[in-house]
Amino acid sequence: MANVLRNSAKFGFSGVLSQLSIHSRHGRECVSPCFSLQQRNNSTSPKIKVDLDSSTGVAVLRMQSPPVNSLSLDFLTEFCINLEKLEMDRSCRGLIITSTLSKVFSAGLDIMEMYGKSPERCGEFWKAVQEMWLKLYGSNMATIAAINGSSPAGGCLMSIGCDYRIMADNPRYSIGLNETQLGIVAPFWFKDTLVNTVGNRAAELSLELGLLYSAPDALKIGLVDQLVPEDQVLSTAQDTMSKWLAVPGQNTLSHWLYRVRTLSLSHTGCTGSEHSPSHWLYRVRTLSLTLAVPGQNTLSHTGCTRSEHSPSHWLYRVRTLSLTLAVPGQNTLSHTGCTGSEYSPSHWLYRVRILSLTLAVPGQNTLPHTGCTGSEHSLSHTGCTGSEHSLSHWLYRVRILSLTLAVPGQNTLPHTGCTGSEHSLSHTGCTGSEHTLPHTGCTGSEYSLSHWLYRVRTLSLTLAVPGQNTLSQYTL
Ligand SMILES: CCCCCCCCCCCC/C=C/CC(=O)SCCNC(=O)CCNC(=O)[C@H](O)C(C)(C)COP(=O)(O)OP(=O)(O)OC[C@H]1O[C@@H](n2cnc3c(N)ncnc32)[C@H](O)[C@@H]1OP(=O)(O)O
């Protein structure tokens, strides 16, 4: 295993995949190490143990998958099933996650899942990773990570997916998103979760350098909220949980409304092989947004390609061109969707909404207009067309690039994007047969397309920077 990790750093992740998928370091078929690990992962003993105290409404989920609680497909599946059960159990209002293993909370993704597997299995694995994060980060329960050991990479993601983190004050333990050190890339939604926890600058440094923090350093940057002696981690978590659950109006409301969550993401960054410039991936650029409402678990992103990298000021200046997370109460971010009485959480969580996006063109950042309605329908398109593609024109003219989720029954805002020659506005978010839709949104006679209006779609937006006209759809 140590070899695997060393090789990750040496070859880069794609190298690891290709090099290790078939052969060991010595070029022989990788039989015995893989086999022994496989056996370990295939163990039928439960990897997760849950105890729900019905008098307090608090469940303790214990990860018990030796040697290091690595997140294999089996582990993740079991984790998600348990989480879902608790989520459905109305008597359960709080969840504490901890480990039964000494020294390790979770070692993160199971490295052995990431090579030598069929594309189908990889897809399944990756979907399970996303599911775990979405279920945890989008949970209605108050969640606390009782971190009683090291928690690198995916273990850290799991921790920051919780509302609160209590870590054992033990100098041997560390936590952080160290993927860069392994020569692999923490997906952008890992990054967003970290940003939402420690802020932009700390997240940048952390990810670019792949830092693992000691417990005191983690506390210093806000990666964990509290340090306690090792033998008090769980009891402190339980005490803390009672405070969370004492918040009037039930815990879910405040915890959902006031914590910054970027549940889903789009970024205009690079993808695939373009993942190499880590500064691009990890420096703040939130150019566009897709909200993954619970259950809507696709992560889409809009990307750009190399040739598009020419406008360096675009690339290297921090711009938050637009982001809207339509969680009520987060009203610095504009939202569309619901108002007034609709602010009840379950309604918020489970109803598909129109979350829209506004592009604040540099210097023109006063546009919080999400979508359009009624008389605004004269805005028949967003974006730009043909001759408008000159850069200065693009930068200095006000544009409203909006995003509309075409929600069943919510067909008043069915337009986004552009039509005809405007196809430089691409979309992400649809899959399969939807790929025949060459643009996001529909207009005029297209309103009668019931499949368009009544099927849930998450159409996100690509920033139509001149030349950025690719459609990309990734879940990574
Ligand atoms: C569309 C399809 C795509 C599908 C593919 C997905 C592609 C995704 C690419 C992008 C992914 C990016 C995201 C990555 C997130 C991650 O989580 S990557 C995992 C990173 N994890 C680590 O770096 C942790 C490494 N481990 C450690 O630091 C230490 O093991 C520890 C501090 C956790 C514990 O230390 P210690 O108690 O000293 O134990 P060890 O002796 O080190 O380990 C014991 C045993 O466990 C094995 N092991 C350790 N970590 C892992 C792991 N992550 N996965 C599997 N196995 C692990 C280790 O090798 C030892 O095994 P042996 O006893 O040697 O057999």
Lowest mean pLDDT of 37-51, 241-255, 257-271, 339-353, name the range.
339-353
Q: Tell me whether residue 183 is one of the annotated catalytic residues.
A: no
Q: Is the pLDDT of residue 10 over 80?
A: no
Each residue's pLDDT tens digit, 420-443: 222 222 233 332 222 222 233 333
pLDDT of residue 259: 59
Active-site residue, selected from the candidate residues 20, 37, 109, 207: 109
Q: Which carries the bigger pLDDT value, residue 203 or residue 288?
A: 203
Give the total residue count for the chain: 476
ipTM value, please give it: 0.95
Q: Ligand 1 center to residue 406 CA distance, Å? A: 40
Give the closest residue (by CA) to ligand 1 atom 24: 107
Q: Is the pLDDT of residue 61 over 60?
A: yes
The domain ranges of the chain are: 48-177+213-267
CA distance 26 to 23: 7
pLDDT of residue 186: 80
- What is the layout of strands, in order, in the sheet containing 58-63? 48-53, 58-63, 94-99, 142-147, 164-168, 226-228
Q: Residues lining ligand 1, CB < 6 A?
A: 1-2, 5, 13, 67-68, 70, 103-104, 107-112, 114, 122-123, 125-126, 150, 152-154, 178-179, 182, 184-187, 476
Give the closest residue (by CA) to ligand 1 atom 39: 68
**This prediction's pTM:** 0.60
The pairing of strands 48-53 and 58-63 is antiparallel
Q: Is the previous residue joined to 67 through a cis bond, with omega within 30 degrees of 0?
A: yes
Q: Is the pLDDT of residue 39 over 60?
A: no
CATH of 48-177+213-267, one of 3.40.50.10800, 3.30.230.10, 3.40.50.1000, 3.90.226.10: 3.90.226.10
Q: Which carries the bigger pLDDT value, residue 163 or residue 248?
A: 163
> Which of the listed ranges 122-131, 203-212, 217-226 does the model predict with the highest average pLDDT?
217-226
Q: If we measure between CA atoms, which residue out of 104, 117, 178 comes closest to residue 148?
A: 104
Atom of ligand 1 nearest to the CA of 153: 17
Q: Tell me whether residue 342 is one of the annotated catalytic residues.
A: no
Atom of ligand 1 nearest to the CA of 107: 33
Query: Contact 362/319 with Cβ under 8 angstroms?
Result: yes
Q: Ligand 1 center to residue 460 CA distance, Å? A: 34
- 42 — pLDDT class (breaks 50, 70, 90): low
CA distances from 16 to 13, 113, 278 (A): 5, 12, 18
Q: Is the pLDDT of residue 346 over 90?
A: no
Q: Ligand 1 center to residue 104 CA distance, Å? A: 11
Question: How large is the average pLDDT for residues 260-273?
Answer: 37
Q: Tell me whether residue 376 is one of the annotated catalytic residues.
A: no
Q: Tell me whether residue 109 is one of the annotated catalytic residues.
A: yes
pLDDT of residue 5: 46
Q: Ligand 1 center to residue 225 CA distance, Å? A: 25
Q: Which carries the bigger pLDDT value, residue 196 or residue 32?
A: 196
